[in-house]
Amino acid sequence: MAVTYRVVWFKRDLRLHDHAALVHAANQGPVLCLYIVEPDLWTQPDAALQHFEFVRESLSELDSELRALGGSLQVRAGSAVEVLASLHQHAPFAELVSHMETGNAFTYERDLQVGAWCQSVGLTWAEFAPFGVVRRLKNRNTWQGRWEAHMAMPQVVLPALTFFNAPEPRGPEVMTAPDALRHNPAQRQHGGRSLALDTLHSFLNGRALGYRGGISSPLSSPDACSRLSAYLAWGCISLREVVQSSRATLDALPPQALRHRAGLTGFMSRLYWHCHFIQKLESEPEIEWRNMHRGYDGLREDGWNDAHFEALISARTGWPMVDACVVMLRETGWLNFRMRAMLVSVAAYPLWLDWRPVGQWLATQFLDYEPGIHWSQLQMQSGTTGINTTRVYNPVKQAQDHDPKGIFVRRWLPHMRRVPDAWLFEPWRMPTEVQRQCGLTVGVDVPEPVVDLAEATRTAKAALHARRADPEVKAGKKAVVDKHASRRVSGSLKRKTARQEAACTAPPSAQMGFDF
């Protein structure tokens, strides 16, 4: 049978615009646009129903766009190798085309299997970089310049498409979530490129004014943050499109638009650090499941405490700001960066929990779960990279700084609405008489802290710093720096405009996750 078409395999790139893989295939001839629902992928411990439904919504819009062009999106269920082999057996194709994926351990092994299958049948698999992450990067010395080069390239334009008619066409409407999947917040964002563009435009043209000064508070951050993280994580919009749109908006602003300019400048720095962190997982896939610095092995994993973990995930730690953040995350699938950092800090230090189970739980809670950023940040916040400053956030102080009137805590913890302001962030200190007047009992209606915050934090920091002071651990730090640490701005980049250098500033000190 004559080879007549190319298969474009969609993964975390659920769009048509600025899609290098699709453009490459379309320029060669007919295409078959394919998404594979992999049952084993959706049974991984980092998968959640909200992820599946967001993908299904995005695919539905993608399919509609393709139908308007005279084609459709073909959806198949099964392992990637099985689906591709079946298509190839019925109608051999000339090439498999996709974007590279820096995913979890499952997708890493899956791609190795797909590569081996392609080789076994003599098929070329053409992969394209979806953003500024470099495969087989030897060192970080040239990385920053390559990121800038990628973001400066014109967005690729889709030519006229010719479609290959697949046997037994099936679209996104056939997708059924596995029964085991849980957690689909009623208040989460919904998938699709049109919503991604609406979100981008509302941020660039208005909400960015509140970015500086507004992204740390859980009260102001839902509007002040860009809210593009989920759309970038699942590829409804390309990072290059966001970078170029942000730079164009910044260039068009008058000099006197100081707040707007400051907001966009801060936002652009986080767009740069998005790829910086994903590059860590691309260069070392093992950081999903083992310490980046092996000198920290055994630090927490040998002392796991089920009661502490259960208190955290059930919003019963006794620290109102922590518990309110857990509830908001559970109900919306989103939380701002500083509160994400605080959650991991509380888990890692006073609760002394290993980052791996905590990270798997948080992966299911974050709609914008991006493995590269997620696992790099979990380790950084937990102190196991060996190269980052210890960051420990006091949940009482965070509440006082970012929710001084208790609006956020009372919104998400109804039982706290009867607690007077004076005791809101430390309700366990309420005198018995005040508890009686409020109709609350600490330890029953209001949980007591699972540990003494000051003492537990002090003990945790001492244990971490003792490990850090070990001569062998110190000696191992250089290898981590060489492989993963950022580099100073090169001379050529130093000559760039302030707008361009906005993408090369230091990483946000408290960023945890992929929220922007």
Considering the domain architecture, whether residues 261 and 303 belong to the same structural domain is answered as: no
Query: DSSP class of residue 429?
Result: G
- CA distances to 23, 210, 304, 364, 432 from 280, rounded to whole Å, are 28, 31, 27, 21, 51
> By C-alpha distance, which of 329, 321, 342 is closest to 416?
321
Q: Is residue 173 part of a domain?
A: no
Whether 138 is covered by a domain: the verdict is no
Q: Does residue 500 share a domain with residue 439?
A: no
493 and 462 share a domain? no
Using a cut of 0.75, tell me whether the model's pTM lies above it. yes
Element (H, E) at 269: helix 258-283
Q: Are residues 65 and 26 in the same domain?
A: yes
35 and 106 fall within a common domain: yes
Cα separation values, 99 from 25, 31, 124, 193, 354, Å:
12, 15, 14, 17, 33
The total of structural domains in the chain comes to: 3
Instruction: Quote the CA–CA distance of 427 and 419 in Å, as a whole number.
Output: 7
The CA distances from residue 142 to 45, 149, 486, in Å, are 35, 11, 10
Query: Which CATH number goes with the domain that contains 331?
Result: 1.10.579.10
420 found inside a domain: yes
**pLDDT of res. 386:** 86
Residues 425 and 308 in one domain: yes
Q: What is the pLDDT at residue 389?
A: 84
Do both 246 and 314 map to the same domain? no
Any domain includes 287 = no
User: CA–CA separation, 452 vs 8, rounded Å?
Assistant: 55
**Residue-number span of the structural domain to which 201 is assigned:** 193-279+486-504
Candidates 218, 223, 181; CA nearest to 203 is 223
Q: Where is the domain boundary, 130, 151, 184?
A: 130
Residue 315 and residue 234 share a domain: no
List of the chain residues with pLDDT < 50: 489-514
